[in-house]
């Protein structure tokens, strides 16, 4: 009996020591998470994404971002490094393979595809699928996690470096690296601008909490960047008396904002990858406990919830459209692309690309 008691006591002490002392890659920062908004008012629960149809993506997964070329073809980026071209009939063919993890996609005025690749940096791909590396560092600091991209009318390219501390290549891939950065809340994200004339990359903003989606306003007055770890969209002013400064367009979103893209009639589409997690929010001001949680097996840590959700805001941050799928039939929704007939929905993990007819969404 004494032997059994001793073994149990040793196991308890060892477990306690592990949970309290084992090294973890994060150094959590205390912060005050705002109380999550209820799903009512502009976020009222609905099933307006229930009518989506699914397009096969050639055996791939994770159609994370979307772009449209001058011929109306849709392009999407996959986990395995491929970028697919999808024609009007929904047929997908391989356009290029970056050999990394392409995330953000956007076309220049001359038809060149610009790609933010989490492993490779900022890339360009010509009509023949030939890849050129544009940028891998900004002001002496390597681009660790290129995430999303947009292009201004003057040709300058805005993109995000989601986190300088947790490169996907070192931390198990894009998704595990993002979870580490969000759990730490260490403000490691950057908003960057690449000038194709000078081939120089400039840092516009630092201190962002997982700098994710980016979108230039149609009037070129500002650029928006999603801070996934802070549930908000930050606005960086490009013109006017506020040029060079930043403020918050919309705060305290009901989920984790991923991509953002300019749509029609002055709206910006935002994908919410998952609803807020109350446990994670309750740990915001408890960095010690966040270390303890990080030592738990992955399945015991706060998890993403399968709940489809995309919304659109106007240039003042007012929610104008909200589309949901409470059943999570198309989970981890990262963003949306608006065309004449369809609203295409992207996802971080899905094995298909979703789209829904405009008339089913109430879009004008």
CA distance 134 to 160: 14
pLDDT in tens, 257-281: 999 999 999 999 999 999 999 999 9
Q: Which CATH architecture has domain 2-361?
A: 6 Propeller (2.120)
Residue 189's nearest CA partner among 129, 242, 257 is 257
Rounded to whole angstroms, the Cα distance separating 69 from 85 reads: 9
Tens of pLDDT, residue by residue over 155-214, are 999 999 999 999 999 999 999 999 999 999 999 999 999 999 999 999 999 999 999 999
Q: What is the pLDDT of residues 92-122, one digit of tens each?
A: 999 999 999 999 999 999 999 999 999 999 9
Q: Which helix (H) or strand (E) covers residue 336, if one does?
A: strand 333-338
Give pLDDT tens digits for 40-64: 999 999 999 988 999 999 899 999 9
Predicted confidence band of residue 4 (pLDDT cuts 50, 70, 90): low
N-terminal to C-terminal alpha carbon distance within the chain: 75
The answer on pLDDT for 20 being more than 80 is no
Write the pLDDT tens digit of every residue in 198-226.
999 999 999 999 999 999 999 999 999 99
Give the Cβ contact number of residue 343 at 10 Å: 24
Using a cut of 0.85, tell me whether the model's pTM lies above it. yes
Q: Is the pLDDT of residue 18 over 50?
A: no
- Alpha carbon 308 to its chain centroid, in Å, reads 14
Containing 60, the helix (H) or strand (E) segment is none
Domain ranges of the chain: 2-361
- Supply angle C-alpha 108, 70, 80, rounded to 5: 70
- Could you tell me the maximum CA-CA distance found in the chain, to the nearest angstrom? 79
CA dihedral 331, 65, 218, 149 (to 10 degrees): 130
pLDDT of residue 58: 86
pLDDT digits (tens, 9 = 90+) for 115-150: 999 999 999 999 999 999 999 999 999 999 999 999
């Amino acid at each position: 009996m004494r032997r059994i008691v001793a073994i149990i006591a040793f196991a308890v002490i060892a477990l306690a020591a592990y949970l309290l002392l084992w090294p973890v890659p994060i150094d959590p920062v205390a912060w005050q998470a705002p109380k999550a908004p209820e799903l009512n008012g502009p976020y009222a629960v609905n099933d307006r994404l229930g009518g989506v149809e699914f397009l096969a993506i050639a055996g791939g997964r994770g159609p994370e971002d979307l772009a449209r070329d001058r011929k109306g073809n849709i392009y999407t980026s996959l986990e395995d490094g491929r970028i697919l071209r999808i024609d009007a009939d929904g047929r997908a063919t391989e356009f290029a393979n970056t050999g990394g993890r392409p995330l953000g996609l956007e076309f220049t005025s001359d038809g060149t595809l610009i790609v933010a690749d989490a492993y490779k940096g900022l890339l360009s791909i010509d009509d023949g699928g030939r890849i050129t590396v544009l940028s891998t560092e900004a002001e002496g600091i390597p681009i660790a996690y290129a995430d999303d991209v947009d292009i201004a009318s003057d040709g300058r390219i805005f993109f995000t470096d989601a986190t300088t501390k947790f490169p996907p290549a070192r931390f198990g891939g894009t998704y595990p690296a993002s979870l580490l950065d969000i759990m730490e809340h260490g403000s490691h994200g950057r908003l960057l601008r690449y000038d194709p004339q000078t081939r120089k990359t400039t840092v516009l903003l630092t201190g962002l909490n997982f700098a994710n989606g980016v979108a230039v306003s149609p009037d070129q007055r500002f650029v928006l960047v999603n801070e996934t770890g802070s549930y908000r969209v930050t606005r960086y002013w490009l013109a006017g008396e506020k040029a060079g400064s930043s403020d918050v367009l919309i705060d305290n979103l009901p989920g984790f904002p991923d991509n953002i893209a300019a749509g029609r009639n002055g709206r910006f589409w935002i994908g919410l990858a998952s609803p807020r997690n109350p446990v994670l929010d309750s740990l915001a001001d408890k960095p010690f406990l966040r270390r303890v949680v990080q030592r738990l097996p992955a399945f015991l840590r706060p998890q993403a919830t399968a709940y489809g959700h995309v919304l659109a805001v106007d240039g003042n941050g007012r929610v104008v459209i909200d589309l949901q799928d409470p059943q999570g039939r198309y989970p981890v929704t990262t963003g949306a692309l608006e065309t004449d007939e369809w609203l295409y929905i992207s996802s971080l993990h899905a094995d298909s690309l979703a789209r829904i007819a405009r008339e089913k969404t109430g879009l004008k």
